[in-house]
Structure 1
Amino acid sequence: MATTMRMIPTNIPPDIRRIRIENCHLTELPRGSFDTVSALEYLWLNFNNITVMHLKCLEYLKNLTELRLQGNKLHSVPWTAFQDTPALKILDLKHNRLDVLPKHALRYLANLTYLDLSFNQLTVISKDVFSNWPLYQKIQLSESKAQSKLNAVLALHDNPWMCDCRLHDFVQFIKSVSPPVILMNPYLMCSSPDFSARKFFHEIELNSCTKPISSALLSNLTVKMGFNVSLTCLTKASPVPEISWIYPLKNLRAFSVSDTHTGEDTVKSELVIPSAHITDEGIYTCTATNFLGNSSTMLFLKVTAPEMASPSSSISKYLSRPTSVENVFVDVKISKQTVYGISLEWYAVTENAADNWYTIYFGKYEDLKKEIISIGPGINTYAMSDLLPATKYEVCITLRSQQPQKGQCIVFVTGSDISQLEQREKLIHIIVIVCAMVLAVPIGMYACTTATGFCCLHRCSALCRREKNGKKTLKKDKNKENAFESLQTSSNEGL
């Protein structure tokens, strides 16, 4: 006891009947650990660091009647190893880390009368573990003939039992246990889920497991563009299923999803779309899955454009600017910013969108002649690099060969310059600015980030009202430059 021993000794006398090695540093029981001591009857290996038992570690121990492995670090046991110990009567595995008990675990323990699995990590086991136990079968048979002389003691307490439908049969078994089968501690307690936590087995009634059944409160919804909308899916299943949503723009837009347990076997899943966009229209599929199967329900969302929409009504609603040309809708947004540039991403609503070519018009805002880039079909992203600091840019995306129209482009400004060229990385960390606000730009072309949209909207609207009401005048050159610099400063502060 309490030595630095790390392996089972190889020089054990062959006629030894009892071995006790405790509080040492054993980490495993390899094959043939005791093949020279076939007379062994009692093996105590408590409070070591055993994590692994080889399938043949108990080979040749046909006389073994007692095996104690209390206080080790076993996550699993090779139960078929007990084919080599037919005489085993006592098996002590308490205070380990066992989290699985296969249904045929006790098949080879026909003479076992004491089994201690307390203080482990068992959550769910089947009652078949015991119905497949030869000793239990003998007890049942002898009871039916009123001649029982067999007894069995089980210790199963202090495990984190998960009391849902998967434990239904086991709970019923525990409730039915009576002598000659004896529970060392009959008060087994649930650890989860919430509705049964800290309740004893005899206090709960569990349902049988069922496959998910999904439904929708409303399967067809219509919302005006810019309004929030919630899609709700109800699922009944046991055990509680996992819920997932699939929708057309899932790779581009991530919506908030919340799941609420409204009953022991009922879940309400809600997907919230803030400021619905035309491109959000489509079919939304809610899928519930548990180990028995899955079930899906579909919801159709229709997004309608406002009847009268002034340019200012959509300021900062979106990072992107929608483009509508001859029954074609192109939604453009700045999806990513890097040290030296941006990435554009767009989505088109048109017939055979995947077969269409697109044209990107890109350049400084004041340049009449823009760089023209053709994008082949099936591509909806493009990266732009080497942007200059403190520069106002304009980018437009149209179908091939079409000219951009007023209000179809994104306008953005990069961050302020710093005089030292070596600090370029700091100065260019691109700011897709809070509000691309130069008063010469039409109000319908302002681009704002979603993170600072409300602040941006307030600033833009206030400045535009002052300009419109004549409360603020700007000289054509000098004052416009000052306003632009002031805006950059406030933008940086907002970010």
Structure 2
Amino acid sequence: MRYTLYLHVLVCCVSVAHAFCPSQCTCVFHGRTDGTGSRSVLCNDPDMSDIPVNVPVDTVKLRVEKTAVRRIPTEAFYYLVDLRYLWITYNSISSVDTGSFYNLKVLHELRLDGNLISMFPWESLKEMPSLRTLDLHNNRLTTVPPEAVPYLVNITYLDLSSNKLSTLPSDLMDIWPPFSKAPLSNSSQKIVLGLQDNPWLCDCKISKLIEMSKIANSLVVLMDLFLTCTAPENLSGVLFQRAELENCVKPSVMTSATKITSPLGSNVLLRCDATGLPTPALSWVRPDGAAVDNTVEESPGEGVRWSIMSLTGILNKDAGNYSCKAKNVAGDAEATIFLSVAGTLSTTLPPFRTGSGTGPTSQGTTFTPAAVDVLNPLSVTLTALPLSTTNRPKVTTIAQKGSLKPAKIKQGGSGKRLAADEKSNKDPSNAVIDLQIAEEGLDSAVLLWTVDGLPGDTLLTVVYSPYGEEDTKQTLETSAASGKELLQGLLPGTRYSVCLVVKSITSAKQPCVDFYTLDSVDNTGLNQLFMIVSGIVCALILPLIALLIYKILALYCKSQQTPIDEAELEKESYVKFETISMKHRTLNSHPTELWARRPTHDSERMLLCSRSSIDSQMTYKSDSSRSEYLC
């Protein structure tokens, strides 16, 4: 009887469960031995045209596959608070509303592959904070907007393959290693990307993706390693791993100085220069992380941009690292400048008067009396005055024109000054400073000085800048006893002006000196060698030139002499020959004497020599005729 009752209860439960299952779907409850379980729902009726609305509320996995559904309406699953897996695959969906996935707080996996989606509501991903898998394979997506990047940060499986994507936002690669600056919570967590079967345009916008495909053993795993370019024409069919992009260079940043020290209340200009292709954009960040708006930028040419940031009336809180960031689609770069503020700001005190009649300062703040530092009368305390009508702060010091007199300290009511004060009370205005440049280099120079009339611990400021460019001054803090300072970060082949400023003297004329840095290529030794070789060559060539001129003049003079006698020339032009002819036959003649010599006439012997020996010939006419030879 007991078993019959259990069976009846089970049948009732199953019947109740089936009552809540949509008519075109199949509901399965996966129970466990501990009495808990999960429910999955499968809807694959080809005649289904709408998303079912009566799905059991305890459904954990919902699959809508191979139906005629064309649209996912707003809040289609808002009551499925336990839904973890949502598969709407291989349907005819072409429209997804922004609020379609409202209230799916625990959804872990969303698959929409095999549909007709051309525009996906990326902002709807914020309704699914637990989402880790997003499958949009085999749709009609043409773009992923930059606005979608923040919603994809937590995605570890993203499939965008078999779409119509030609590019991706550059910032998308920055959320994954190796471009992500934030360390992963789990270093062993792999990120899977499906990007194959898309008509990729291989330009600088996807340079990070191309670079990622060339990295071995990366935390980002590509489903297909053999991604190929479709455009431009010169890269069509080329693998990402072998693609070389043109006009795509990561930015680099250079600052005018790495460390700057300025007095309290002064104005400071910070400059940085950046190069890269495409031309990078520049931005400044304060030490507290806030962006800086008061900047001036200019791009003098393609791939080059500079930016200047201004700080007005700096305070102690303005000290710190200022970052100049350059960014383009190929990457980003950063450089920092450390700003330190010299001096202190006093609080409001009663007006201070000296024996020379120094009156009270302006309202708000006053100078700290010189008696604050008795043992060092040259120390200076700065104060910031209220802004003038031009809204520019002013900086002033206690030092007055002439000698700097420390305040009197009474001892035992006698009103006498301490003996140590009398010994240390030197007049800095009478100090003699000899300033010179000992050595110039390509980007550095050595400054030497000798000081007479100042204590060795007197603070000095070295101020230097390119000649005539007052807005790019750089400063270095030193002391009078050091006598030497190395100036670095200079530009080659540039004229610089350097001054040595005694902090305790504001009115006296400060010593300055100008110098030039060496050119990028030091040609001093080469010039000397060239001069020596030139001298040797000149010493050898000049006699030859003189001899040649002499020969030319000699030939010219010889040609002006009397011409040779024509008769002599005629005689020299002919050759005389003797004619050998056969003897006339006689009865009494000796048979061996067949040849005889006969004299020839001068005209016969005079044969022109201009005929070549090849043309020479002998003509035999008769016994009595002569033989003619032509040369």
Measured against the shorter chain, the TM-score band is: 0.3 to 0.5
Q: Which has the higher contact order (CA 8 A, sep 6+)?
A: 1
Q: TM-score, normalized by length of structure 1?
A: 0.39
Pair member with larger Rg: 2
